[in-house]
Every structure is written in structure tokens, then in C-alpha cells.
Structure 1
Amino acid sequence: MNGRRVWVRLTRSFAPLLLASLLIASCSSVPQTDRIRFGAIGDSITASTDRFGLPTHWTWVATAATGDVTDVGGYRHYGDTTADILRHVTPLPEAQVVVVMAGTNDAPVDDRPDPRTLTNITAIFEKTGVPRRILSAVAPRNDDRAAETLQLNADLRQLARRSGWRWVDPWTEVRTADGRWRPHTSVDGIHPTPASGRIAGDVLRAAIVKTATGG
């Protein structure tokens, strides 16, 4: 009888510890839902493969999707115009934030950016179904469309302001005043080096976090 009483006392004394252990185990098995989930839409600057299907090493997405920020997909394809992207983009129900970087492949109209680019970008955002939106500046270029790219970015910035989206220019550190790449920041005059892609990724990652958290 005495042994049974001792056992009851021990059981009661360890019960709180046992309950605490069970609670800890239960909490550790809960899926982590505090990660920031973003989608990315764009052309070759955003795509992970080139026109031959080989991996690119310049995409900013890899740098943005680090730590507590994760990439949940989106349409990104080498050489696509905004009209091409609009045809292929699909909803991104898992994304909290969506980033669009597009327009550099759209043909100019009378030496100015095609006005349909802005309409297409608005429609692209709508098709994703993601309410928190980031519009990114397009990258510099070293050909005869450098000045046009500067104008396109000015138009995109105004579109973002009118629409209530976050505007981000992740290329300021690698762009010259006339819209070209700074020396040694591009692999071919169009696409960034891996280092330039990481610079853009860091800027966009910060913007994604701010947008997701209401900053």
C-alpha cells in the first residue's frame, strides 16, 4: 500500500513536466507558416533558364528567396514581351506578394515605350490575384535603346504611383546616368552579371519583406 501511495505522489509531481513536454513537442510539429511567400513575373532577367534551357546565374530571384523569404513561383520566360507574359501568367494563390519586372522586350512606338506595356502590366497583376504588388524597374542596356529604357522606367514609376503599388528600382547601383550598365556589371550589355543580380535581389528582398509586413 505504501509503495502505491509513493507511486501516486511521483506521478502527480511529474504530471506538469509531462504536460509541458507534450506541449513543446506539439508546437514543434506545427508547420512553419511565418515565412514570407512571393511570386515573380518577368522575362530573362527574372528567369532561371536561358533561351536554350540552360541555367542562368544572374537572376535576382535566388538572392531574394533566402532566409524567411521563399519563392512560390510565377511566370518567367526568356525574351518574352509583356503581351507574351499576359497570355501565360496564371493566378498565384500561395503568394503574399508578387513582383513584376517586365517591358524591356516590348518594341518601341515612335522611339518611345509602347503605351500598351502599361496596360499589359496592370492586367498581369490582376491575373495573379495577389493584392500586395511590387513593380520593378527594368534593367539597364548598352544598345541604342538605353534612353528608351530610362523613359520606360519613368512611365512604370508613374503607373505604380497611380495604382498604389510599391515601386522599386533595384538597378541604381549598376546603372549609369544615360541608362547603360556600369563597367563590369553586365555579361552581354543586356543581362546582369551574377554579382549585379545579387545586388538587385537584395533590394527586392527588402521590398518584399516591407510589402508583406505592411512596412
Structure 2
Amino acid sequence: MRRVLASVGLLLMAAATAGCAATAGPTASATVEPGASVSPAPRSVFVVGDSNSTGFRGTFATGQQSGDAWASRLPAGAFAPVEGWAVDGATTGAMRAGVEALDPHVDQLIVMAGTNDLATGVATDIVRANLAAIAAHVDAPEVLVLAIAPFDALAAEATALNAELRAEATARGWDFFDPWTGSRTAEGTWVPASTVDGVHATREGYAAAGDAVAAHLGAP
């Protein structure tokens, strides 16, 4: 009888052990601790502009590679890739043609345009129409229009154009930001130490503008 009871006990223990193994779930995956922050994926960016977006280096790619373009200051952890179309001397018409030859699909479009239109007498309504066409072609849910940099020879006209650019952005639901406040005097001209020729910034001026844009877009 004792042998029978012992055998029954062993069987019950085995069954209980098997039942526990059967009900055990899979190994838990790693979880984020409460309160821990999760960094969002970097946003892709497409920049459109002229020499003040190339860093006065000819093309956007050259300015990015040299680190002179203001967009080179956008931190990769928050913005990647950062691409664009910008050429020294480009008007908004040239920018429009350059962008329309491409097929950008990005999270953020950033446009700084109009200095060379002022210099060549292009009407403001044409500048606004070209900006609208650029934004319509680039597949981007967010559009940021940047104020043009100071222009010593046409300071009043540059100030007026920036007001028009702000109005265009507001009317279309775009963002508008002036990254040049630290380089612009109350009269709309360059702070002397911030420019090399009354049109273009120093390397430090471009860096400051890029940092300002990054901060405006919420980069850490």
C-alpha cells in the first residue's frame, strides 16, 4: 500500500510541475521604464535657397560639406537627411525650376528666398507665386519660410519683402521665422561684424542662423 501511495504522490507532483510549465508565458520582452524618454525618429528636411543657404559656397551640397551652410547646423539626431536645392545668385524663379526637376518627399520644407529677386527687380507677387509653386511641388506636410537676410543696399525693400513673405506664410498656414535677428539692426541692415559684404553673412553668422532655425524647430 505504501508503494502505491508513493507512486500516486509522484504522479501528482509530476502533473503539478507539468501544469506550471504549460501555463508559463513566453519570456517577457524588454520594456521602457516608466518616465523614460523615447527619442523621435529624425525628420527629413529639404532646403531651398540662394547663396545665403549655400554659405556663399556655390551650391547647397558644397556648403553642407564645408560646414558653411546654415543647414549644416541642424543636428542629425533631430533632422536627417538634410538635402536641398540652393545655388548662389538664384532667384525664386530659378529655385522653382530647380525644385520642379526633382521629386522631394520629406517631413519639412524650408525656404529662404527673395534676395536676388530684389536685386534684379522681380515683383513681389511673382516671388510669392514662386514660393507657392515650390511648396506645391515638394511633398512635405510642414513648410517653414525664413526671412531673407539683411541687404544693406536695399534695407527698406528687404524689410518690406519679409513682411510679404510672412503674410504669404500666414495665408497658407505655413510657419515663418526670422533667423537673422542677431545679425540685423533696427534699420534692417547688417550688424557690421556679421557680414562680409553687406549681403552675405560671416561663417559665424551662418552658424548662428542655423542654430536659431534648429531651436525654432524644437531641436534639443
How far 1:199 moved relative to its partner? 1.5
The aligned counterpart of 2:94 is 84
Aligned mates of 2:211, 2:62 — CA distance in 1: 24
Distance 1:83 1:112 in 2: 9
Percent identity for Structure 1 against Structure 2: 31
Matched, 1:73 2:83: yes
Letter in 1 for 2:124: D
Partner of 2:50: 43
Could you list the runs of 5+ residues in structure 2 that have no partner in the other structure?
Answer: 1-20, 31-38
8 Å contact kept, 1:83–1:120: yes
Q: Deviation at 1:54?
A: 6.2
Q: How many residues align?
A: 187
Q: Equivalent residue for 1:147?
A: 156
Rounded Cα–Cα distance in structure 1 between residues aligned with 2:123 and 2:82:
30
Aligned 8 A contact 2:69 2:206 in 1: yes
For residues 44 and 71 of structure 1, the distance between their equivalents in structure 2, rounded to whole angstroms, comes to 21
Query: Counting helix residues as a fraction of each chain, which structure ranks higher?
Result: 2
Q: Distance in 2 between matches of 1:176 and 1:209?
A: 26
Partner of 1:130: 140
Cα pair 1:82 1:106 within 8 Å, conserved: yes
Structure-2 separation of matches of 1:145 and 1:192: 16
Distance in 1, matches of 2:210 and 2:204, equals 10
Output the amino acid matched with 2:141. Answer: P
1:5 alignment partner in structure 2: none
- 8 A contact 1:136–1:169 mirrored in 2: yes
Q: Does 1:102 align with 2:109?
A: no
Structure number with larger C-alpha Rg? 2
Cα offset, 1:46, TM superposition = 1.0
Q: What TM-score, normalized by structure 2, do the two folds share? A: 0.73
One-letter amino acid of the counterpart of residue 115, structure 2 = T
Distance across 2 between alignment mates of 1:77 and 1:131? 24
Report how far residue 145 of structure 1 moved.
1.2
Write the distance in 1 (CA, Å) between the matches of 2:51 and 2:150: 13
Indicate if the aligned counterparts of 1:46 and 1:61 stay in contact, CA closer than 8 A: yes
CA 1:86–1:140: 2 relative to 1, 3 Å: same
Q: 1:125 to 1:46 in 2, by over 3 A?
A: same
Normalised to the residue count of structure 1, the TM-score between the two structures is 0.75
* Distance change in 2, residues 1:58/1:192 (3 Å): farther
Shift of 1:113: 5.0
Q: Which runs of 5+ in 1 are unaligned?
A: 1-11, 25-31, 211-215
